[in-house]
Structure 1
Amino acid sequence: MTRDDATLAQVRAARPDASTWLSANAGSGKTRVLTDRVARLLLSGVAPENILCLTYTKAAASEMQNRLFRRLGEWAMLGDDALRGQLADLGEDGPFRPDFLQRARTLFARAIETPGGLRIQTIHSFCASLLRRFPLEAQVSPDFHEVEDRAAELLRADILDRMSEGPEGARIAELARHFTDSDDRIDALLKAVLSRKSAFLPPRSPEDIRALYDLPPDFGRAELLAEVFLGDERRVLSDVIRAMQDSAKTTDHGHATLLDTVDPSSVSALETLEKVLLSGPGAKEPFVAKIGKVPTKEARGTLAPDIADALDDLMRRVESARPARIALAAAERDIALHRFAQVFLPAYESAKTARGWLDFDDLIEKAHGLLSDPVVAGWVLYRLDGGIDHILVDEAQDTNPLQWEVIALLAQELTAGEGARPDTARTIFVVGDTKQSIYSFQGADPEAFDRMRASFAARLEAAETPLQVRSLDYSFRSAAAILAAVDATFEGAAGSGFAPEGHHIAFHGEMPGQVDLWPVVPKPESEEPDDWTDPVDRRGARHESVVLAERIADFIRDAVDRGQPLHLGDKAPRAMHAGDVLILVRGRQRLFHEIIRACKNRGLPVAGADRMKVMAELAVKDIGALLAFLATQEDNLSLATALRSPLFGLSEQALFTLAHHRKGPSLWEALRAQEAAFPETVAMLNDLRSKADFLRPYDLIERILTRHKGRARLLGRLGHEAEDGIDALLSQALAYEEGNVPSLTGFLSWMQTDDLEIKRSPEAAGAAIRVMTVHGAKGLEAPVVILPDCGARPDRIKDALLPAGPDAVWKARAEDQPALQADAVAHAKARAKAEADRLLYVAMTRAEAWLVVAAAGDVGKTPDASWYGQVARGLERAGAAPLPTPNGEMLRLGALPEGTAAPTDPSATGTVTLPCYFTEPAEVPRPTETRSPSDLGGAKALPGAGDETETAKARGTLIHLLLELLPALPAAEQAEAARRLLKAHGAPPEDAPEMAAEALRVLNDAALAPVFAPGTLAEVTLCGDIAGLGPLLGVIDRLIVTEDRVIAIDFKTNRQVPDTADAVPEGLLRQMGAYRAMLQALYPGRVIETAILWTSPGVLMPLPAALTEAALARAAQLDSQPAAS
């Protein structure tokens, strides 16, 4: 059969019998080539478990696996003729015998039934599986787990805190002295140290670090000062200061003030002298001695000639010493950082090991260490060699150097020794595109792509299995006009990875396409006056980002309303809809949010932000405010926030009236007093407050969302996109409970430090506009792509550490950077510019038919200063036509068809009848709700005691509070503190003295002193799962823990007290039995005792274990009985 050039290139690249290095342009079908190659390997008889395909992201691995399973599944159902056609299209040579067709039909079952499944995974997933297979050899815990970013951040902070409080605190203090007012952030610095730990371990000596800056080994501050201060400077400066002070010039007065602070024994004096005696960093010749210019002419004329000459000599010495000063300052910063790192890095690794944690870098490093260890590597490779015959690497341009080393170690058995056995065809397949390497912040090195190609070519050549190097130049995605704009834009950009001979060919050559370059939206000539009623982060209507956002929304609205025709590939023309639009920005800054807001204001469906910070979501903030109030009822602000939220829906006027006219400080008490006006609100809050101390955070949030219809209310006000944040909050509550004793206050504290970010699936946008970053759009495409964020950007380097060969240097401020750092910064800026070019390439090649480029504000003075300038230059090269618009002149290359097309509903689907299991709810067991040990049934008071009333419960709560807080105070202060506490918590004035007296009588009883002694624990939250009773969550009033026993004590304020333990009410025995059972699980091997402290008579009553165990058993027996029908 005959094939077109594009398909033929794909077929040749997918040859299963040849090792291949493939460079693939954007949209050239590399995922199809990968899928075809795996399918052809399976057809050739390769077992699924002998194939390893490494992808860059889990999404890419899932997409490739889905495509492969879809194809193999189709083969299983096709007839002979149709199957022969598909195999021929794949590149297989006929004739296809019946046994070959039968093999093709069984591949789907073989792939599904392969133990562990097809190995299509990220390199991190592969390394994790390798370490789990060989944990002893890799020296890792067999049950290790990958640490999440948030847990790692908390661990770093914890180690830093422990270091600062321990013997290494001096190293922290030394490090802190070198922080500047620039972008230095401690956690960013810690992450940088961890990412470049090879530069710190083994440790570098101070002499080594000074040598980096071309300083002598023993050069220090004394040597530096000796170069400038020769002994007569005080006399010279005194005369100069006096002349300046007598001058009429304010400049002289300012300089005199500075010079008066100069201390020749301090290095800071050199900085002061530089400010006065040298030109500034913005001068035409920066940091040059201002000979004859300081002081001013008037003051200088009053100086004696020898003083003037001595001042000029001092200037020259200051200028001459400046390079040594900034080099020494940089060396001292690096020395302090190295000293800190030598303690921090081992502490961090030790802490991770103790927890069984590995981060993503650890997975690669441990796997590399395993495969390169001469003691065990041979064994591991032998075992792997029997399992991996074919390695495929996707998105190779984003592979970092250490990952390449892991791949090379895996592949070495393919080309050497027993691994190159002649009876088994073994290959490596690598596909990538240096033009799309945009992940340098994750260590990606596009230059390694070419280096590794040469390395593999040489190794395979030596094994007489040459590497075929191929490219895919055809784009199946973009129209010819878009590709012409791309080629012209990057003409001459070889330094960014664009080969001079590289070009793109449109597979659909006749497909209409268009590139528009809109006029720049200028900055407004004058600032708008702020309206005090606007949010503080709201831009004015004339701000350039707001104007551009409005133009984009109007453009989309117009194109959709008039049914702009789109011809995509070889499909029939159709009308454009909102889901065709993909808007790409460089960062989620103000323009990003203004575009979303403008589109929503035009009634356009928009998917919202592609990434979401959970704790910044309004729905999550509203739930958090309610939780904060439930934890602390005195928190008026949180209650007010919750009341104004959709959860309760109070109007601003209603809240103001309630708060402004309240008689006391408590907003909650004011709300309760107005219960008749807000019955549903008070009832909901009362219900939640009664459960807050006993439900786990997840259960409490679920109660808000489900029982009280919180989810429906939030989605009704905030829209469907709020659901992602709500679900993420629930997931975080479960994650918190997995690693912590669940408590509401603990969860709130944990939540406040969380900066969890979740990613929305772009495929889930449906018929809505997608607004996302270019990085997030990698691998996506859209008929219409808008690039609005193409203005000039500052070329600042944010990295705190910069590479300097095998070392790393801590970047100083620009004006204080010695030559070594200045060169490193220049190199980093060049690499950043090259990556920005590649990012623009990725952005432009997402478009299928229509590409719109725009900018607001500054676009720079040269074409290379901004994406806008680069595209404008490229369009001019490509012969784009200028067109007048109401906002100025635009450029256009190519043309889309005019007129209108029949509208289409992208979400329309055929009508189907759902099976009953989709419409009829299944019977499910009622979920077990977490209960309190006090909710296990049984009486809580003696018959006729009357202690179950609400008044008695409130009295008991207040006495509990006193017994919890007062023991921490000196005895002399307890009575006054009791009075204040009872008043603050609303105790009836007539009952407060009696409550205080009862609590103080207990605290002052010498027989009860051990209960409240230092070291005992108050209000201990305890959770556990007891057979027959389910999950329990309770609070022990007082817990005493010794080496051999644990004593749980519960306070009871019943006025009528039993004489013996046998007479204790059943409900109290069950409660104490539950405490005893949970403590036995926590403290195996220790004696567990329980007791009740009756506060009214001040009696501590121990409870026999048999008594509480029997009561607990009765509670479990009652729970197991079926409910009456």
Structure 2
Amino acid sequence: MTAAGDAQKQAAQPGRSSWVSANAGSGKTRVLTDRVARLLLAGTDPARVLCLTYTKAAAAEMQTRLFRTLGEWAMLDDAPLRAALTALGEPGNDIPDRDLARARTLFARALETPGGLKIQTIHAFCEALLRRFPIEAGVAPQFAVLDDRQARVLREEVLDAFACAAPQDFAELAHHFGREDVDALLLEISRHRAAFSGRFDDAALAATLGARPEITMADLAAEVLTPPARDVLTTLVPLLAASGKNDSKAGAKLALALGASDPTEILTDLEGVLLYGKGAKAPFGSKAGKFPTKDVRAAHPALMTELDDLMDRLADARPLRLANAAFTKSAALNRFGRAWLDVWNGRKAALGVLDFDDMINRAETLLAQPGTAAWVLWRLDGGIDHILVDEAQDTSPAQWRVIEAISEEFFAGRGARDDVDRTIFVVGDEKQSIYSFQGAEPGEFAAKARHYTRRLDAIGSVLQRCDLLYSFRSAGPILELVDRVFDGPAGEGLSQITHYAFNAEKAGRVEVWPFLPKPEKPEETPWDDPVDKPAPQDPVLVLARRIAEEIRGWLDAARELPGEGRAIRAGDVMILVQRRNLIFDAIIRELKRAGVPVAGADLLRIGGELAVRDLLAALRFAATPTDDLSLAALLRSPLGGLSEDELFEIAHGRQGNLGGALRRQPPERWPGVRALLDDLLDNADYLRPFELLSRILIRHGGRQQLVARLGPEAEEGIDALLDQAVAYESVEAPSLTGFLEWLDRDEVAVKRRMDEGQDQVRVMTVHGAKGLEAPIVILPDTAPRAESANPPLILPLGDGRAVWRARSEEAPDAVAAAEAARCALVRAENRRLLYVALTRAKSWLVVAGAGDPKAAGEGWHALVTEAMTRLPSTRQSSPEGDVLLYARNWTDGTARRAAPPVPPAPLPGWTRAPARAPLDAPRPVSPSGLGGAHVLPGDAAGALPEAEAKARGTAVHRLLEHLHGRPAAERADLAARLLPGAPDVAERLAEASAVLDAPDLAAIFAEGLSEVPITATLPELGGRRILGRLDRLIVSPERVLAVDFKSNRAIPATTDAVPEGILRQMGAYRAALRQIFPGRAVGTAILWTDAARLMPLPDALVDAALARSTSGATFP
């Protein structure tokens, strides 16, 4: 057994609590699966195992692997099953037969577990917990969970209501917040909700910031710019204007400050002249003795003394100005945040909805309540014996508190069941903690390890520590590079980083391409180009082209992928970026241009898809026929098919709107688009959005037209739009304008699965690639990235309070310290993101970069390049510069080309032919609709209105069907339930009871069938099919009797007097039964319910009546 296998077996031991640190590619999912399998093998009830994963995809993957393993065990013979269990870690040949038998039953046990195996995300667990204890948790028992889109829409609605209900708080915030995306602020307030809970202590916040709110900005300006100081500046301005260029500029700025009325503006203008800037050796220090120039200072020494005093006072006042400004803004933020959260939470409670953070917080609160937590934990104590936590490095503190609460009873003695050793198993890797924006704190991983070590020590148990250092994924050269990158400053704050390749001889290759810098002199572009359009020779675009050409070359040359014994395929390549930016779009575009199969973007923004925009243009025209812009877009799209010249011909010089101009064109022109527009206008008010889209795509061939013009990738956008239509109709009253407004309200994005199934290059973010791998990984987005990029609006302080984030030059010390701490965390996470990116590669890693190498921030390219210099790498020349190369067991060559795939056989012609119209099959005939009267002349029932007579007959039939065989004492109660609200229940019950109690009718209700459907094709009716229902059917080996109940008041004395319509009906029943029961005697009879009398009918009589029948009526 290898060291790698031993480490996995040790970690998967079921009887011990374990804390596992797992390097990337070390097989942690297998360890998790093996541990659950061994727990079940040891006799643990599947319902008592709780496995918490980070994503639904991870939960599904683990469940699939586990069921695959258990399913294989169920089918194995003794020898291979014993070998499989031994490989899992069970004790070799000593495995008893009873364990083999148990192993074969685990698959069925897992499937039959009520509620299924508990392999779920922490959010799913908390949701289930709240639904189990809704009263204790204070939530609606049938609460709904808001998805991101629903939450955003609801926030907009609540914000509108809040602005009206609390205008002062809203106006105060608006004074300091000038951005349009207020929802980003609301999200951050929700994320830091703990900082906005409880009473706002403004004095404590002022003390933290060093502010003195009692000193206004006007007071501070007056203290700095005293009347004598103003006189000094008034005297100085003309002196500066007469001096050199720099002094002249400074004098102009001082003049503006003297003319300003706003005290904050006065102070900031003075600081801009009289204090050093943020890049100086003494940032924002006084220029006393250094300003203005020597000549001016020498000529006016007395004036300079007073000016130096002013500059010193200004420098001394600046920290208070910053602190007071930060306090004013942050106080407004805190007041707004508290008021907003109260309204927001109240609205969610009124609607009975929770968001994802609510589920965690509510579960945490539930498990922390002194009065109810014991009850909940007692119930859980009997339900969970083993907890497994996956991706623990990404678990947030709030989520950890939930896990701690549900595991607390593990350490309180023996728990609810003394015969069970209960365990906790945690696996993670702090080096892969990259989800701080979702609340993850990598330091929690080590902190919780210490916590559980102490808790287990307290009960005399041990937390087993395991390190999985062997990578089953990456080749040695890649792992050596990773170790070199992170054994310096990049690994600061991380535990020792050591990797071993499971297959030490596996071929591996690392390349670092030269960084492509921006040209020192920007390339001239046409004056009418958009300002954000990159130049053709922009290094980012050059790099994108280089990558596309390189991959195209690999494919064309059938370059071998060492170790695989085959040529490189497009699906072997994964390209990872830090964010979806210019290089992301450029690479996808260049790959398509080079003819390289590419999967497209990993995040599909529906509104940006051309096919979606064309379909929405059609819907907007249908909603507003006078919308010329939408109609023009529709006409120029593949759906309309008009050229630019044709559209100009219609639109130029038109009278009225564009639709009217199109209708005035000759009818033979553009018949297809005319039919589409007419169909849209005819149905816009009657069809749901999904139906309208389906008509465009199917009836008018829209899907085929869009795919033909835009390519197969258009299918995904089309399908996503259809999904959105279904989602909209499931939550809203469907309307076309409502659907369009619903789409416009939020940018809809759909995450795409980027697994290895399709043979296409995958271009995606590093975050999206977590858990994925590829033989070849290219990292093109490695330029320096400032930690201040995409900064938050709110900064948490060390004491739990929240403040506005300020620009570095405007931040007081407390805010600057918080921002520095944030930047350090961002820098550390960016390095961890690099670790994740590097470790996705199995065989070949390429690191490239383009942009500004001197930009602020730390760049991946520089970190990797420095690490490569500490490896035995070589240099290869290229047009762009030297390529650093480090490889082992790598052979460059051409693989034998695989046989080209067999093209699919062409479809036969009939598959493309329009379907023939279905034949109108004749409708079946009702036996009671064959013509003839059904009542005798003078029958009182026949004199009743048709509906009343039918209701009377139906009631008697129902009672006879359900009351036979029931005790007489129960009939009244059953009748009331069978005929609710009927005014004559007693009368109908009496009639039915007389029939049921008649001795000579007992045989009819003894053995037989009730309400029997019957159908047959009758030659007597010219081959027409009948469809009817027999009230009673008595079948014996020799004879079949069909009985029909009739509630007529007038009863014929003889069979010859039976109404013609009844005879024809019974004749049809007899003819059908003779087909169904050939060789048996078939008879018919009428049971007259009003007289409780059975009248058998002669066969010849009903046969003759059937022969006289007509089939004009059909079964409804």
Give the TM-score of the pair, scaled to structure 1: 0.77
C-alpha distance in 1 between matches for 2:537 and 2:864: 26
1:522-573: CA deviations, max 9, x gaps?
32354444458988865333110111111111111222222222244xxx52
Aligned to 1:738: 730
Q: Could you tell me whether the CA contact under 8 Å between 1:397 and 1:437 is conserved in 2?
A: yes
Partner secondary structure for residue 776 of structure 1: coil
Q: Could you tell me whether the CA contact under 8 Å between 1:802 and 1:825 is conserved in 2?
A: no
Aligned to 2:1070: none
Give the TM-score of the pair, scaled to structure 2: 0.78
Identify the match of residue 623 of structure 2 among 628, 631, 634.
Answer: 631
Matched, 1:335 2:331: yes
Matched, 1:286 2:283: yes
Q: CA deviation at 1:231?
A: 4.4
Q: Could you tell me whether the CA contact under 8 Å between 2:684 and 2:692 is conserved in 1?
A: yes
Q: How does 1:1096-1107 map to 2 (within 5 A)?
A: none
C-alpha distance in 1 between matches for 2:485 and 2:121: 33
C-alpha distance in 1 between matches for 2:891 and 2:384: 55
Matched, 1:318 2:311: no
Q: Could you tell me whether the CA contact under 8 Å between 1:659 and 1:667 is conserved in 2?
A: no
1:801-833: CA deviations, max 9, x gaps?
343331122111121011111111111111111
Q: Could you tell me whether the CA contact under 8 Å between 1:524 and 1:542 is conserved in 2?
A: no
Q: CA deviation at 1:509?
A: 0.6
C-alpha distance in 2 between matches for 1:844 and 1:1124: 73
Q: CA deviation at 1:520?
A: 1.5
Partner secondary structure for residue 599 of structure 2: strand
Distance 1:765 1:604, change over 3 A: farther
Taking only the aligned residue pairs, the percentage that are identical comes to 49
Q: Could you tell me whether the CA contact under 8 Å between 1:575 and 1:900 is conserved in 2?
A: no
Distance 1:300 1:896, change over 3 A: same
Q: CA deviation at 1:177?
A: 2.0
The one-letter code of the counterpart of 2:555 is V
Distance 1:1124 1:567, change over 3 A: farther
Aligned to 1:870: 863
Identify the match of residue 273 of structure 1 among 267, 270, 291.
Answer: 270
Q: CA deviation at 1:693?
A: 1.2
Identify the match of residue 434 of structure 1 among 430, 435, 443.
Answer: 430
Partner secondary structure for residue 22 of structure 1: strand
1:356-407: CA deviations, max 9, x gaps?
2111110100000111111111111111111110000000000111111111
Partner secondary structure for residue 516 of structure 2: coil
Q: How does 1:873-892 map to 2 (within 5 A)?
A: 873-892=866-885
Aligned to 2:132: 133
For structure 2, the 5+ residue unaligned runs are 919-1111
Q: How does 1:466-865 map to 2 (within 5 A)?
A: 466-493=462-489, 496-500=492-496, 502-530=497-525, 539-568=534-563, 573-763=565-755, 766-796=758-788, 797-860=791-854, 865=858
Q: Could you tell me whether the CA contact under 8 Å between 1:566 and 1:896 is conserved in 2?
A: no
Q: CA deviation at 1:8?
A: 1.0
Q: Which moved more, 1:136-145 or 1:246-255?
A: 246-255
Q: CA deviation at 1:28?
A: 0.5
Distance 1:689 1:861, change over 3 A: closer
Q: Could you tell me whether the CA contact under 8 Å between 1:783 and 1:850 is conserved in 2?
A: yes
Partner secondary structure for residue 609 of structure 1: coil
Aligned to 1:967: none
Distance 1:729 1:409, change over 3 A: same
Q: CA deviation at 1:287?
A: 1.8
Q: Could you tell me whether the CA contact under 8 Å between 2:236 and 2:251 is conserved in 1?
A: no
Aligned to 2:177: 179
1:111-144: CA deviations, max 9, x gaps?
1111111010000010001001111110111111
1:492-532: CA deviations, max 9, x gaps?
347544323x3111011111101001111232354444458
Q: CA deviation at 1:731?
A: 2.0
C-alpha distance in 1 between matches for 2:766 and 2:553: 25
Distance 1:127 1:466, change over 3 A: same
The one-letter code of the counterpart of 2:272 is K
C-alpha distance in 2 between matches for 1:1124 and 1:598: 66
Q: Which moved more, 1:473-482 or 1:648-657?
A: 648-657
Q: Which moved more, 1:23-32 or 1:541-550?
A: 541-550
Aligned to 1:936: none
Distance 1:907 1:8, change over 3 A: farther
C-alpha distance in 1 between matches for 2:312 and 2:181: 37
1:565-618: CA deviations, max 9, x gaps?
2244xxx52221111001001011010111111111111100000111111111
The one-letter code of the counterpart of 2:821 is H
Q: Could you tell me whether the CA contact under 8 Å between 1:628 and 1:748 is conserved in 2?
A: yes
Partner secondary structure for residue 764 of structure 2: strand
Aligned to 2:16: 18
Aligned to 2:1035: none
The one-letter code of the counterpart of 2:829 is E
Matched, 1:190 2:189: no
The one-letter code of the counterpart of 2:441 is D
Aligned to 1:161: 160
Aligned to 2:890: 897
Partner secondary structure for residue 654 of structure 2: coil
C-alpha distance in 2 between matches for 1:584 and 1:253: 49
Aligned to 1:966: none
C-alpha distance in 2 between matches for 1:37 and 1:265: 69
C-alpha distance in 2 between matches for 1:910 and 1:63: 33
Distance 1:472 1:158, change over 3 A: same
Q: Which moved more, 1:128-137 or 1:653-662?
A: 653-662
C-alpha distance in 2 between matches for 1:68 and 1:52: 14
The one-letter code of the counterpart of 1:561 is D
C-alpha distance in 2 between matches for 1:524 and 1:620: 38
Q: CA deviation at 1:645?
A: 1.1
Aligned length: 915
The one-letter code of the counterpart of 2:147 is E
Aligned to 1:977: none
1:1098-1123: CA deviations, max 9, x gaps?
xxxxxxxxxxxxxxxxxxxxxxx999
Aligned to 1:149: 148
Q: CA deviation at 1:453?
A: 0.3
Partner secondary structure for residue 795 of structure 1: coil
Q: Could you tell me whether the CA contact under 8 Å between 1:514 and 1:893 is conserved in 2?
A: yes
C-alpha distance in 1 between matches for 2:350 and 2:694: 34
Q: Could you tell me whether the CA contact under 8 Å between 2:381 and 2:416 is conserved in 1?
A: no
C-alpha distance in 2 between matches for 1:221 and 1:906: 80
C-alpha distance in 2 between matches for 1:770 and 1:1123: 62
Aligned to 1:6: 4
C-alpha distance in 2 between matches for 1:469 and 1:59: 27
C-alpha distance in 1 between matches for 2:261 and 2:646: 68
Aligned to 1:998: none
C-alpha distance in 2 between matches for 1:714 and 1:28: 45
1:178-205: CA deviations, max 9, x gaps?
236xx78422222111111111111322
C-alpha distance in 1 between matches for 2:162 and 2:855: 50
Q: Which moved more, 1:388-397 or 1:155-164?
A: 155-164
C-alpha distance in 2 between matches for 1:533 and 1:597: 23
Aligned to 1:1085: none
Distance 1:536 1:311, change over 3 A: closer
Q: Which moved more, 1:485-494 or 1:366-375?
A: 485-494
C-alpha distance in 1 between matches for 2:849 and 2:147: 37
Aligned to 1:210: 206
